[in-house]
Structure 1
Amino acid sequence: MSGRAGRRGQDLMGDVYFFGIPLPKIEKLIKSNVPELRGQFPLGITLVLRLMLLASKADDPEDAKAKVLSVLKHSLLSFKQPRITELLKLYFLFSFQFLVKQGYLDQEGKPRGFAGLVSHLHYHEPSNFVFVSFLRKGLFHNLCQPTRKGSKHFSQDVMEKLVLVLANLFGRRILPAKFQETTIKFYQSKVFLEDLPEDFNDALHEYNMNVTKEFASFLLNVAKLADMKQEYQLPLSKINFTGKECEDSELVSHLMSCKEGRVAISPFVCLSGNSDSDLLQPNTPNHVVLRTIGIDHSRAPVLWSQTFDNQGRRMPLNAYALDFYKHGSLTGLVQDNRWAYPPSLLHHLESCSPSVSTVSLRELCEDEDDNVVLAFEQLSKSFSEKLDEV
Structure 2
Amino acid sequence: MSGRAGRRGQDMIGNVFFYDIPLPKVERLIKSNVPQLKGQFPLTVSLILRLMLLAAKADDKADARAKALSVLKHSLMSFRKERNAEILKIYFMFSLQFLIKEGYLDQEGNPIGFAGLVTHLYYYEPSNFVFVRFLVKGLFHKLCQPIKGSTVFSDDVLEKLVLILANLFGRKYLPACSMKYKCTFCQSKVFLEDLPEDFADAVNEYNTKVQENFAHFLLTTAKLADMEQEYRLPLSKTDFTSKNWHGSELASYLMDNTKSISAISPFACLSGVVDNDLFHREVINKAVLRSLGINVTNCPLLYLNKYDNRGRRRPLNAYALDFYKHGSLIALTTDNWLNEGDAYYALKDFSLLIKSIGTSLSELCDDPNDNVLLAFQQLGEIYEKKLKCVT
1:349 match: 347
Distance 1:324 1:349 in 2: 8
Is contact 1:170-1:351 (8 Å) kept?
A: no
C-alpha distance 30-247 of structure 1, shift in aligned 2 (>3 A): closer
CA drift at 1:275: 1.4
CA drift at 1:314: 0.9
Is contact 2:18-2:26 (8 Å) kept?
A: no
C-alpha distance 207-183 of structure 1, shift in aligned 2 (>3 A): closer
Give CA-to-partner distance per residue, 1:346-377, whole Å, 9 cap, x none: 12112222113111111100101000000000
Is contact 1:220-1:263 (8 Å) kept?
A: yes
2:141 match: 141
Identity in percent: 58
CA drift at 1:14: 5.1
Give CA-to-partner distance per residue, 1:117-140, whole Å, 9 cap, x none: 001001111110010011000000
CA drift at 1:230: 1.6
1:117 aligns with 2:117: yes
Give CA-to-partner distance per residue, 1:42-87, whole Å, 9 cap, x none: 1111111111111111111111111111111111121111111111
1:312 match: 311
Distance 1:187 1:35 in 2: 53
TM-score, length of structure 1 as denominator length: 0.93
Is contact 2:187-2:326 (8 Å) kept?
A: no
> Which consecutive residues of structure 2, in runs of 5 or more, have no partner in the other structure?
none
Is contact 1:262-1:275 (8 Å) kept?
A: yes
Give CA-to-partner distance per residue, 1:217-241, whole Å, 9 cap, x none: 0000011111112212211112222
Is contact 2:264-2:288 (8 Å) kept?
A: yes
CA drift at 1:152: 0.8
Q: How many residues align?
A: 387
Alignment-mate amino acid for residue 46 of structure 1: S
C-alpha distance 158-261 of structure 1, shift in aligned 2 (>3 A): farther
C-alpha distance 229-361 of structure 1, shift in aligned 2 (>3 A): same
CA drift at 1:35: 4.2
For residues 113-192 of structure 1, the aligned pairs below 5 Å read 113-149=113-149, 151-182=150-181, 185-192=184-191
CA drift at 1:345: 1.1
> Which consecutive residues of structure 1, in runs of 5 or more, have no partner in the other structure?
none
Distance 1:344 1:306 in 2: 23
CA drift at 1:212: 0.3
**Which shows bigger deviation, 162-171 or 72-81?**
72-81
1:38 match: 38
Is contact 1:278-1:284 (8 Å) kept?
A: yes
CA drift at 1:242: 2.4
Give CA-to-partner distance per residue, 1:244-300, whole Å, 9 cap, x none: 443433333322222355221111111211112221224335121111111111100
CA drift at 1:92: 1.0
TM-score, length of structure 2 as denominator length: 0.93
1:286 match: 285
CA drift at 1:24: 3.4
2:96 match: 96
Alignment-mate amino acid for residue 209 of structure 1: T
Alignment-mate amino acid for residue 375 of structure 2: A
Alignment-mate amino acid for residue 199 of structure 1: D
Distance 1:13 1:243 in 2: 39
Distance 1:358 1:371 in 2: 11
Secondary structure, counterpart of 2:218 in structure 1: helix
CA drift at 1:4: 3.0
**Which shows bigger deviation, 214-223 or 224-233?**
224-233
